[in-house]
Structure 1
Amino acid sequence: MLESQRIFEVPNGGYGWVIVFGALLINMLNRALYSVFSLLFGPFFNSIDISQSEIALVMNLTSFFESIASIFTGAVLKFFSIRQISVTACILTSVGLTLSALTVSVYQTILTFSVLAGIGFGLLNNLTIVAVTSYFTTNKSKAISFSSAGTEIGQIILPQIIKHLSLHFDANMSIMIMGCILLAGVIGALLFEPVQSHMKLKEVNENHALISKPISIKNDENQKRTSFWKKCINTLDLELLQDSRFVVLIVVLACNYAASLDCLLIFPYFLQHAQFMDMLEQSLL
C-alpha cells in the first residue's frame, strides 16, 4: 500500500485575487502615467521654457532608468521581499514626481523624474507580474490580464483627474497633487503577502512525491572556484544573453518600445499645435 505524503501547493486563486487587485491598483496609478505625461507636464515645461527636444530627453532617460531597474529586479528579490521592494518603488515614484514640481531646469527634472520615478517604474513593472504569477498555476493568464487592465483603466481616469486639477490649480501644484495620488499605490503593495503564508496542503502518494520532488546537487568545491563575473551573471540572471535569438528579440522589442514611447510623447503636442486642441480637449481622447 502506498503511503501518502503532504506537500504544499500555491492556492491558484483565493488570496491571489487580492494580489491581482493590488497589482491592478499599482498599474492604474504608475504604468498609466506615461500616457498622461504631456498633459501633466506640458504647462509646467512651458513655464520653465524647456524645448521639445529636452522634453523627449527627459522621457527617454526615464525609459532608460526604468529598463536598468528592471534588470536588477531579480537580484534585489534575492535579498528583500516583494512587498518591501514594491512599497519602496511606490514611494520612489511619488517622491520623484512631487519633487519634479520644484525643478527649474531640465537637468533637475532628469534627476527627480527620470532617475527616481524611472527606477520606481522599472521595479514595479516586474514586481506586479512576479507577485501575481506566484499565486497561480492554471489561471496565470487570466490573473495577469486582470492586473494589466489597471493600465487601461488609469489611461481613462488619470486624464480626467488632470483636467480637473488644471482648472483649480497651477501646473506645479497639479504635479504635486498627482505625486501624492501615486502614494495610493502603497496600499496595493502592502497587499503583496508572501505566497508561503497562503499555500494549501495537498496529500499525494509517496511515488508521486519522489518523482515531483526536485533534486539538487551542490558542489562546494565548484562554488568556491566560481569567479566574481560568474557570480554577477548568476545574481542578475544574465544566462539568457547567451542565446542569440533572445538578444535579437530584446533589440527588436527595445526599438519598438522606444518608437511607441516617442510617438506617445509627441502626439499630444501635435494635437495642441497643429490641430489647435487645448489640454482639456486632449483629455477627452
Structure 2
Amino acid sequence: MDKETLSDEQILAKQQAMRQRTVSWSDEGQSEDGGPRRGSVVHEYYDDDDEEDDNASVTSLPAELPPPPDGGYGWVIVFVSFLANMIVDGIAYSFSPFMEEFSNYFEEPKGKVAWVSSLLAGVYLSAGPIVSALSNKFGCRTVCMVGGVLASFAYAITPLATSVEYLMITQGVLGGLGFGLIYLPAVVAVSYYFESKRALATGIAVCGSGVGTMVCPPLVSLMIRSVGWQGTNLIIAGIILNCCVCGAMMRPLEVPRMKKKDLLHRIAEEKANALENSSLAGSCYINVRNADGTTSKQPNPK
C-alpha cells in the first residue's frame, strides 16, 4: 500500500511539471485514421497551469461557445453599437462644412482639400480585413476602445495643422484607421448575442449610421460658426472618446468552465473507459509504473 501511495505521489508531481499534452503508444504505432492502434496502451498527460490549485486539478473548456441569448444584455450591445455607428459615420460624412474653412485657411484648392475626406473614407472602409483579424485575436471590446483613442487623438492634433498634407495624415489616415477599428467590432459584437433576432438587432445597430449622417453636418456647421474649425475639431475629439465607453460595454459572452476533477481520478476514469472500449484488452504489453516514477513495458498477464 505504501509503495502504491508513493508511486501515485511521484506521478502527480510529474503531471504537474508537464508543459504539454503528450500521447505515447506502447505498440509504437497508429491506426490509419491517425489515432492509437487497437490493442495499444494510451497514456495521456495534461497540462495544469492553475497555480492556485494545489491538488493538481484539470479545468476543461467546452468545445463550443454558449448559444446566443437573443436578448437580455444583447440589447445593450445593440444600443452601444448604434451610438458608435452614429458617431463614426456622422463625423466621417460631415467634412463638407470644413471644406471652405480649410481651403481659405491654407490657401489651397478645394480639390486638394477633398483628399482629406477621400483618405478618411478609403482607410476607414479598407481596414476591414485587418480589423477583423484583430477582433478575432483580441476581442471586439479591446479593438473598439483602441480605435476610439486613435481617432480621438487624430482629431485632437488637427488644430496644429500647418498644411493640407498634415490633415491628410491626421484626419485622413489616422482618423480613418481609428474609425475602422470602431465600426467593424460594433457590428460584429451584435451577432454574438443574437441568432433568431440577428437581422433585427443588426438593422437597429447600423441605423446609427443614417441618424449620424443626418444630424452631425448641421451641428458641425453650427460649431464652426461658434468656435472656429480648430475648436470644432477639439470638440469632435471629445465626442469620439465616447466610443471607448461604447467599446467597454461590449462584454463578451461568458464561457462556462467545467467543474474541476482531481487529476488522478480523471486518469482512472479514462483508463476505465479505455478498458470498456476494448482498447486495452488485446494489448500484448502494458506499461507498468515503478516506485521511482518510471515506466517499464511488461507482458499483459491477461
Please indicate the TM-score interval, normalised by the length of the shorter structure. Answer: 0.5 to 0.7
Contact 1:40–1:174 under 8 Å retained in 2: no
Whether 1:61 and 2:119 are equivalent positions in the alignment is yes
- Give the 3-state SS of the residue equivalent to 1:195 in structure 2: coil
Alpha-carbon distance between aligned partners in 1 of 2:135 and 2:193, rounded to the nearest angstrom: 16
Q: CA RMSD in A?
A: 2.1
Residue among 119, 123, 142 paired with 2:177: 119
Whether 1:74 and 2:151 are equivalent positions in the alignment is no
Identity across matched positions, percent: 26
Q: In the alignment, what sits opposite 2:47?
A: none
- Give the 3-state SS of the residue equivalent to 1:8 in structure 2: coil
Q: Which range moved further: 43-52 or 77-86?
A: 43-52
Alpha-carbon distance between aligned partners in 2 of 1:164 and 1:8, rounded to the nearest angstrom: 48
Q: In the alignment, what sits opposite 1:128?
A: 186
Contact 1:97–1:113 under 8 Å retained in 2: yes
Alpha-carbon distance between aligned partners in 2 of 1:61 and 1:156, rounded to the nearest angstrom: 21
Cα-to-partner distance string for 1:231-253 (whole Å, 9 max, x where unaligned): xxxxxxxxxxxxxxxxxxxxxxx
Q: Which range moved further: 22-31 or 72-81?
A: 72-81
Q: In the alignment, what sits opposite 2:26?
A: none
Q: CA deviation at 1:106?
A: 1.6
Contact 1:73–1:123 under 8 Å retained in 2: yes
Q: CA deviation at 1:65?
A: 2.0
Alpha-carbon distance between aligned partners in 1 of 2:243 and 2:135, rounded to the nearest angstrom: 19
* Ranges of 4+ aligned residues in structure 1 off by more than 3 Å: none
Higher RCO (C-alpha 8 Å, min separation 6): 1
Alpha-carbon distance between aligned partners in 2 of 1:160 and 1:54, rounded to the nearest angstrom: 23
Whether 1:174 and 2:235 are equivalent positions in the alignment is no
* Letter aligned with residue 90 of structure 2: A
Alpha-carbon distance between aligned partners in 2 of 1:146 and 1:57, rounded to the nearest angstrom: 32
Cα-to-partner distance string for 1:232-278 (whole Å, 9 max, x where unaligned): xxxxxxxxxxxxxxxxxxxxxxxxxxxxxxxxxxxxxxxxxxxxxxx
Alpha-carbon distance between aligned partners in 2 of 1:46 and 1:66, rounded to the nearest angstrom: 26
- Give the 3-state SS of the residue equivalent to 1:161 in structure 2: helix
Cα-to-partner distance string for 1:132-168 (whole Å, 9 max, x where unaligned): 1111001111111111111122123323422331232
Whether 1:163 and 2:213 are equivalent positions in the alignment is no
TM-score relative to the length of structure 2: 0.59
- Give the 3-state SS of the residue equivalent to 1:77 in structure 2: helix
Alpha-carbon distance between aligned partners in 1 of 2:83 and 2:66, rounded to the nearest angstrom: 29
Contact 1:41–1:175 under 8 Å retained in 2: no
Residue among 76, 96, 102 paired with 1:44: 102
Alpha-carbon distance between aligned partners in 2 of 1:163 and 1:64, rounded to the nearest angstrom: 23
Residue among 140, 150, 153 paired with 1:92: 150
Whether 1:22 and 2:50 are equivalent positions in the alignment is no
* Letter aligned with residue 55 of structure 1: V
Q: In the alignment, what sits opposite 1:102?
A: 160
Unaligned runs of 5+ in 1: 1-6, 199-285
Alpha-carbon distance between aligned partners in 2 of 1:19 and 1:154, rounded to the nearest angstrom: 18
Instruction: Tell me which structure has the larger Cα radius of gyration.
Output: 2
Alpha-carbon distance between aligned partners in 1 of 2:99 and 2:230, rounded to the nearest angstrom: 9
Alpha-carbon distance between aligned partners in 1 of 2:135 and 2:206, rounded to the nearest angstrom: 21
Q: In the alignment, what sits opposite 1:137?
A: 195
Q: CA deviation at 1:59?
A: 2.0
Change (3 A) 1:14 1:94: same
Whether 1:13 and 2:13 are equivalent positions in the alignment is no
Alpha-carbon distance between aligned partners in 1 of 2:255 and 2:219, rounded to the nearest angstrom: 37
Cα-to-partner distance string for 1:170-207 (whole Å, 9 max, x where unaligned): 22111211121111122211110002369xxxxxxxxx
- Give the 3-state SS of the residue equivalent to 2:162 in structure 1: coil
Q: Which range moved further: 163-172 or 94-103?
A: 163-172
TM-score relative to the length of structure 1: 0.63
Whether 1:194 and 2:280 are equivalent positions in the alignment is no
Alpha-carbon distance between aligned partners in 1 of 2:125 and 2:215, rounded to the nearest angstrom: 26
Alpha-carbon distance between aligned partners in 1 of 2:125 and 2:225, rounded to the nearest angstrom: 35
Q: CA deviation at 1:81?
A: 1.7
Alpha-carbon distance between aligned partners in 2 of 1:182 and 1:47, rounded to the nearest angstrom: 25
- Counting helix residues as a fraction of each chain, which structure ranks higher? 1
